[in-house]
Amino acid sequence: MKLFQKMYDWIESWTTPDWLKPILQFLNDVIMSIAMQIGRETIDKIKQKIIEVDNNVDLSGEEKFKVVAAYVVEIAPTLSKKYINLLVETLVNKLKDENIIN
């Protein structure tokens, strides 16, 4: 048991060198910036799909929703169904409020 305690104490005593902190912060900022850009691009793609599907008068509202949800699954397969539904519903409402779709 003393061996594990010594290992734990040694790991706890380790601190990040001062020169490494700004580098890690820079990398974190770059990664977050890229993630935000990808997120914006994905949301823009979903909005475009909603607008495209809204112009198809042959589909019912439910069918339009299913088409858009299937598209979201294609471009963002890691999102769960409840988040996809929430995202699509929110974007549809936003586009309706902006009078972009009916």
Establish if 74 belongs to a structural domain: yes
Quick check: 68 and 26 in contact, CB under 8 A?
A: no
Quick check: 46 and 87 in contact, CB under 8 A?
A: yes
Query: Residue 58: what pLDDT?
Result: 86
Residue-wise pLDDT for 63-75, tens only, equals: 999 999 999 999 9
Query: Residue 74: what pLDDT?
Result: 93
Establish if 100 belongs to a structural domain: yes
Query: Residue 61: what pLDDT?
Result: 86
Establish if 32 belongs to a structural domain: no
Query: Residue 33: what pLDDT?
Result: 87
Structural domain of residue 59, as residue ranges?
A: 43-102
Establish if 26 belongs to a structural domain: no
Establish if 24 belongs to a structural domain: no
Instruction: Write down the residue that tokens 């974190």 correspond to.
Output: 28
- Mean pLDDT value of segment 22-50: 88
Which token pair is 1? 């048991």
The count of structural domains within the chain is: 1
Query: Residue 69: what pLDDT?
Result: 94
Establish if 23 belongs to a structural domain: no
